[in-house]
């Protein structure tokens, strides 16, 4: 365990900022569940989910102060993102899928679902925005800025970014795996991003790595038609 935080956070500050970490993730998970349960309207629900989560991120944006763009972290972040992409597509096919873990993905196929090329392009623009920007920001704020520190110390805002206990690291990795159908690949992914955070002390590095992983996965899905990965 790490030491207790040296800078106790103001309780009012904590009350004001915690929704920004939790609410977008809660909305995303709830709407993803609805999307998977109602495949006949999955496309519409995905668009609604993207809009709703984006609005929540904007409305509760106090945690954005944890994101500090730094050029120094870009090479390592991009490398980690690409390594995680490779491990995802290598590890997942070798892993038994457990139906009760992480639910399932809607596996939307824009070429089958849209006969109008313009609508297809518009949907892909929304899909890649969600994949490459919205999800990395939302998930890194929740998993590695909030939960990782909160499990280390309840007064998590008193901890610098990148300070966490190894027990919190293990719990977050396990929970991240439980939240994904590709559970083992997701656990490896969470470990990689967590170690990147510890090394760089930069949430921005994790967001970049996550975005690179998702961009590579999105391109892979489009070129191989392995729609189950999104």
Q: Where are the domains of the chain?
A: 70-229
pLDDT given at position 13: 56
Q: Is the pLDDT of residue 132 over 90?
A: yes
Q: Are 147 and 193 in contact (CB under 8 A)?
A: no
Of 15-24, 56-65, 126-135, 170-179, the poorest mean pLDDT is in 15-24
Using 50, 70 and 90 to split pLDDT, how confident is the model at 10? low
Q: Are 176 and 42 in contact (CB under 8 A)?
A: no
Cα separation, 86 vs 197, whole angstroms: 20
Using 50, 70 and 90 to split pLDDT, how confident is the model at 137? very high
Rounded to an integer, the average pLDDT of 110-124 is 92
What six digits make up the tokens of 185? Answer: 């690949």
Cα separation, 88 vs 187, whole angstroms: 10
Using 50, 70 and 90 to split pLDDT, how confident is the model at 2? very low
Evaluate if pTM is beyond 0.85: yes
Using 50, 70 and 90 to split pLDDT, how confident is the model at 15? low
Query: What percentage of the chain exceeds 70 in pLDDT?
Result: 90
């Amino acid at each position: 365990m790490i030491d207790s935080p040296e800078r106790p956070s103001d309780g009012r500050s904590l009350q004001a900022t915690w929704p920004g970490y939790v609410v977008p993730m809660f909305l995303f998970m709830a709407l993803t569940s609805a999307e998977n349960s109602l495949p006949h309207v999955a496309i519409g629900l995905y668009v609604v989910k993207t809009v709703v989560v984006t609005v929540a991120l904007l409305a509760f944006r106090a945690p954005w102060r944890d994101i500090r763009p730094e050029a120094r972290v870009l090479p390592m972040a991009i490398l980690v993102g690409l390594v995680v992409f490779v491990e995802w597509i290598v590890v997942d096919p070798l892993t038994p899928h457990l139906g009760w873990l992480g639910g399932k993905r809607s596996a939307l196929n824009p070429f089958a679902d849209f006969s109008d090329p313009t609508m297809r392009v518009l949907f892909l623009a929304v899909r890649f925005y969600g994949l490459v920007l919205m999800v990395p920001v939302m998930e890194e704020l929740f998993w590695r800025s909030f939960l990782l520190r909160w499990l280390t110390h309840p007064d998590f805002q008193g901890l610098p970014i990148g300070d966490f206990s190894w027990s919190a690291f293990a719990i977050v990795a396990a929970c991240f795996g439980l939240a994904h159908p590709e559970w083992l690949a997701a656990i490896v992914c969470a470990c990689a991003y967590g170690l990147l955070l510890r090394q760089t002390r930069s949430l921005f590095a994790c967001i970049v790595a996550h975005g690179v992983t998702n961009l590579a996965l999105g391109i892979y899905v489009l070129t191989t038609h392995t729609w189950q990965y999104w």
